[in-house]
Structure 1
Amino acid sequence: MDATDEKIIAELTRNGRISHSELAGKVLLSRNAVRQRIERLERQGHIAGYTIVRAGGDTGDVVSALVLVYRQDRMRGGDVLAALKRIPEVVVCEILSGDFDIMVRLEAASLERVRSIWEEIAKMPGVRDTVTALTLSRVVNRPRGEQGLAAAE
């Protein structure tokens, strides 16, 4: 990925419905070049999906859960990461230091779907164990880039 790819991803993060033509103007490329880059970013997994964000930050009836994953082999667990990237409800996947290997945040339409995803993760080759916690309420939810605003005020 280069700086132009980063700009494309940043613009798509701000507005996932932006036209290729408008995006091309913002990143100083042709419409066709933007389309080709987006397709490549999708193939390479840098863009794993598109989502809807409701006005006012309302998440509706979304069930959120945190799944902590222990892998059998931390150094050779790339298959687990690749499989997690293919699950659309995975909104965050981070490799951790310490006791747990991977932290996965799920946002699903139902508790049943969270359970189904948990079962899928637990059965993955290379996963030794999991610990799952459901989100009861969200106290802080800062969009990226707003972390320093409170300190500046």
Structure 2
Amino acid sequence: MEVLDEFDIKIIKKLEKDGRMAFSAIATSLKISNTMVHQRINRLLEQGIITGIKPIINEKKIGYDWGAFTGITLTKDHDSQRIIEALKEIPEITECYFITGSFTLYIKMIAKDHEHMRKLLYEKIDTIPGIAKTDSIIELGCAFKRNVTL
């Protein structure tokens, strides 16, 4: 397990508020050198603690009004990696998890409308060899989404 010190945590918190914040501005606000900020952010990226600094897209603002969580049952669980690779080819699938319980995989997907959602489920996902069944729950809006508090 990687250990974060107070400067790592402060740097991450600054980036959470504004991922576009200049390293020099972070350094000035924390009263540390620009080089130190640069080195720490690079280390956090290399260690996989920070997985990237990228925009968060509001899917509804670009026409994706429907969201669903779908449990996927496989005919053979050992086929999961091949099926995951096929799911990665569907851009509307934004997340995929291994889970315990009734399903092998759980995905989050977005669609423009109910017809788009139907096509995703029946024409793209259900046609992947090795998928036995899907069970979807329609999402009505995100109450909140956040990182763990440091």
TM-score, scaled relative to structure 2: 0.58
* Contiguous gaps of at least 5 residues in structure 2: 1-11, 22-34, 43-50
2:79 to 76, 85, 100: 76
Which residues in structure 2 correspond to 1:20-99 (within 5 Å)? Answer: 28=39, 53-54=57-58, 59-60=60-61, 61=63, 62-99=65-102
Does 1:108 pair with 2:111?
yes
Partner residue in 1 for 2:133: 129
Residues 51-94 of structure 1: per-residue CA shift (max 9 Å, x gap): 7524xxx8335210111110011123211111112221111100
Unpaired stretches in structure 1, ≥5 consecutive residues = 1-9, 19-24, 29-33, 35-45, 149-153
SS of the residue corresponding to residue 112 of structure 1 reads: helix
Q: In 2 relative to 1, CA 51–89 (structure 1 residues): closer, same or farther, beyond 3 Å?
A: farther
CA distance in structure 2 between the aligned counterparts of 1:116 and 1:17, rounded to whole angstroms: 37
Please give the alpha-carbon distance, in whole angstroms, between the structure 2 residues aligned to 1:111 and 1:86. Answer: 21
Alignment partners' CA distance in 2, 1:110 and 1:101:
27
How many residues matched? 121
| Partner Cα distance (1:67, 1:86) in 2 | 16
RMSD: 4.0
Q: Aligned-pair distance for 1:113?
A: 2.0
What percent of counterpart residues are identical? 20
What SS is found at the alignment partner of 2:144? coil
Q: State the TM-score, normalized to the length of structure 1.
A: 0.57
Q: CA deviation at 1:137?
A: 3.4
